[in-house]
A and B are shown apart, each in its own frame.
Chain A
Amino acid sequence: MTPSRLSSAEPPAPADDDHARGEGPLLIEYADLECPYCARANVLLCDLPVRRIFRHFPVVSKHPRARVLAHAAEAAALQDGFWPLHDSLMDDQGRLEDPHLWERCRVLGIDLDRFEADRRSAAVAERVERDFRSGVRAGVMTTPTLFVDGRAYPGVPGEQLLGRLRSRREAD
């Protein structure tokens, strides 16, 4: 039988086109830009000394704008605006309709015409889908899910994990 495309596999190692920031131990995050738990995790992770890799895991039946937002973030990435738009969305998940996205682009200096074309492109959709499918293969079933040292941590990270990540930096 042909191998199933969504059978189990570890989260892929960071690639050049992954969205990464920070320095320290590797932390791979599967998240949904409309998910309030992901917004909470973002607050907890933002000051941690980790190498943070963001991957999209939009769950549309739970968050109707999730995939639209993932595509928007990828379109912004093509103008080096992934993290600014990511942070803008995570800081305010109450205004997510198209006019709100356009206003965010204006504030962030993202070219709107290019953004509008890019966020509807097949390349951007495939980029988001790549992340989502790698998450399914890694067993992600909720957002956020964090991977540290090959182990999955579903949900908002608890103090035990956060403390361990902080102390690893101190031990380095």
Chain B
Amino acid sequence: MNAETLALVIVVVTALGFDFTNGFHDTGNAMATSIATGALKPKIAVALSAVLNLAGAFLSVAVALTVTNAVVHVQQSDGTPDPTLVSDGGSKLMMIVLAGLVGAIIWNLLTWLFGLPSSSSHALFGGLIGSTIASLGWDGVNWVGDGTKLDGVVGKVILPAVLSPIVAALVAAIGTWLVYRIVLGVAARFTSNGFRWGQVGTASLVSLAHGTGDAQKTMGVITLALIASGHWNHTDAIPFWVKLVCALAIALGTYLGGWRIIRTLGKGLVEIESPQGMSAEASSAAVILASSHLGFALSTTHVATGSILGTGLGKPGAEVRWGVAGRMAAGWLLTLPAAAVVGGVMWAVGHVCGNTGGPIVVFLILLALSGYIYLRSRRTAVGAHNVNDDWDGMPTTSPEPQLAAGGVA
């Protein structure tokens, strides 16, 4: 195996690794509320979400080859790589993409360790921005687009991140308030049963939409690497095996379930009842679908979190744990720069180690850091067995209640 092929294999494997973290990081967006209210058993919920993500990934035949164009200039507008980056067999582009992916994965794993729902798309964009700045300089980044449409870091990342949670929270708060007003006087036993159905239905829509949107990003990145290394030359189609492995990776990640994040979303932010769960997921589904219809790029995570927060605001007497919300917001602010720093450092490390050794060294660093974070997570394991335990006190078997620290406002 020569150096170019090895680099390609490493990029593909790392991209699938990112897709996998994307899956388990976002399980909670759709399923946390159904798990918290008991509408679905935890294992059933993640299995349903995994199947819908798988189906969603296969539904997307539209090619998302230009995914990086939103934030960096490494591709041309038709999706083919910038020719100056592939003149040496693609290794320049490979290094940028690989370092960006590693930045995204590390940030996804860290936020998962702390139980913070953060956007996987922002982590990916952040990683790519960092590795692009390191290699091509400040001008390699598409900061604001060209002014003809919503584009660039500002238009596709920052503005949506600020506004979409607010819109979702508003919609969910109004939905929750209406629902509780309307069913006033109906026996609680009677309503909770009905709303569980509504919850499962709306949560399923969110899962399906997630699979269609997010798996495409990894498909686009892998196909870009294949084009850069000369293994693929269509810009209007994706190899079937790429679609298959991406769909499987995101579904497997979803099934694994990011229990730490599910717990924060379902139990930490607001104590959720089934009418709130339905309002939250309906709001998420509506905001995600309306935005994608209007070409407004947003993160499922920000929308889902905003919606859940909104149900806490909309239900009379409900409590929102603002401490938890504050930690999430801090995590969101950090996502782009933090992933960018990791991406930039990884690019520098890979660059120093050369075209052959660079990808290998960067990949080994990724494995070492991931292994370390995984081992840390075992100290305070959160799984299907304790995901719904009371938020106060964090009664896991662990000696180090990490999530509870600062978790209560």
Asked if chains A and B come from one complex, the reply is no
Point out residues on B near A: beta carbons under 8 Å: none
Point out residues on A near B: beta carbons under 8 Å: none
